[in-house]
Amino acid sequence: MELFPLFLKLEGRQCLVIGAGRVAESKIESLVRCGARVRVVAPEATEAVRTMAEVGSINWEHRAYKPGDLNGMFLVVASTSSPELHAKIFEQARRAGVLCNSVDEPERCDFYYPAVVRRGPLQIAVSTGGLFPGLAQRLRQQMELLFGPGYGAWVEEIGRARKELLASDLDISERNARLQEISSERSLAEFERSRRAAGSPETSPGQPGKVYFVGAGSGDPELLTRKAWRILSEAEVVLHDALVAPELLLVPPPSALILDVGKRCGQKSAAQAEIHAVMIEQARSRRSVVRLQGGDPLIFGRAGEEFEALRESGIEFEVVPGVTAASAAAAAAQITLTDRRRASRLIFLSAHRHGGQFDAGWQSLPAWDTTLAIYMPGRDYERIAQELCAAGLAPETPCVIVSQASTPEQRIVRADLAYLAEIGEMPAPAILLVGEVTREEVLEVSRAYSAGIWLADQTDADS
């Protein structure tokens, strides 16, 4: 059955809610928000419902439901623990011509509560016809990221502009062109930029802008935090690494300046000094600058050098953490990095340091009760294995290599430390996890093969 979507004006209308528990509480609040005259019938009520009754927002009657309660009502919400009572209320409401919603019973509903994104006069509602409210909530959360808080003020602004245009003597074609322009993405970007310039301390006249170091997470764009998405959606300048998901570069406004400053092995890339200069120049132009980096910007990145350059130039900055590669890789391989039965320590290492040199000197590493997360392992797994064995790790120590974690191209390779040299090149970015927490099935499998390697080859597109 297809539903007819509409937005109702409830101001001044009589609405009845039967029940006053936690679920009913949210239904009551939404009706009050819309200006409805809300009557609640329930023997008991939550503290929030009691407070609404005390301040006069609702009329709460401390008793059980009676059929006569429907008289004069525009709609009724049944939110009790009794399906039998809900069935009676639904039938009585049908006979009385009153719209009814029985919570969590789609077959006894004339209407459904949608999941709503509220941005002032802008409301975006999502419904699954009562079949899967959780999905509607998830979609609402995604749309809240796409339609930030600034949309409300913008809609009010363009609403006033539309009213003036409709009252003007412009011909229809020119009026329609103007209406299309004021509702465009470019119009939104200009509105947000003017608001920042007028009211934000860091963009006030004579003051520089601000740089945000944003962690883009590891591969999957949905791993971006809500705060990161909001900041990115308002950015005027974005300097991004090569490992950032392409979908994230569609989040900034169309007017934003997008610069690729990624560094990849064997390829020409921007010098670090150039990156510093661009950030400082753009911030001094009173722009909102996002330094978008794969994973978390504070783990094996160049954030420290960039912090120093900004501090010396008097530029304010803020860090928004992201999901680092070790966490994403462990999630992909279903590994607990600090499983208390196998490891009480977690050590992050980089196989390469400044200038791309291999970082040896791992002799001080603990040889047991520890998980090693080795970033940027490169291609020389044989040397890594030699260094780890020299540090005291046993040749049969299990390992996992995760390449391009959380992306459709993800690959997972498991092997004992002794067989790392036989693993072929893995596409970057890759991370090597070493320790007993990776054991699970690797010993049984590696003993079954003379090569000692099990290629999981998991693309995990649907995981």
Give the residue from 87, 75, 80 showing the smallest Cα distance to 31. Answer: 75
Rounded Cα gap, residues 428 and 421, in angstroms: 17
380 in catalytic set: no
For residue 168, give Cα distances in angstroms to 164, 171, 176, 294, 424: 6, 9, 12, 50, 70
Query: Helix H segments across 97-235?
Result: 133-146, 150-167, 172-182, 185-199, 226-233
114 three-class SS: coil
210 in catalytic set: no
Rounded Cα gap, residues 145 and 26, in angstroms: 22
What residue type is 123 in one-letter code? Q
For residue 172, give Cα distances in angstroms to 161, 164, 187: 16, 14, 21
Q: Choosing from 263, 339, 359, 380, which is the catalytic residue?
A: 263
* Longest Cα separation, the chain: 85
Q: Choosing from 69, 220, 241, 296, which is the catalytic residue?
A: 241
What residue type is 462 in one-letter code? D
Give yes or no for a cis peptide into 429 (omega within 30° of 0). yes
Taking the CA atoms of 177, 179, 183 and 187 in sequence, report the sign of the dihedral they define.
Answer: positive
CB atoms within 10 A of CB 353: 12
Catalytic residues: 241, 263
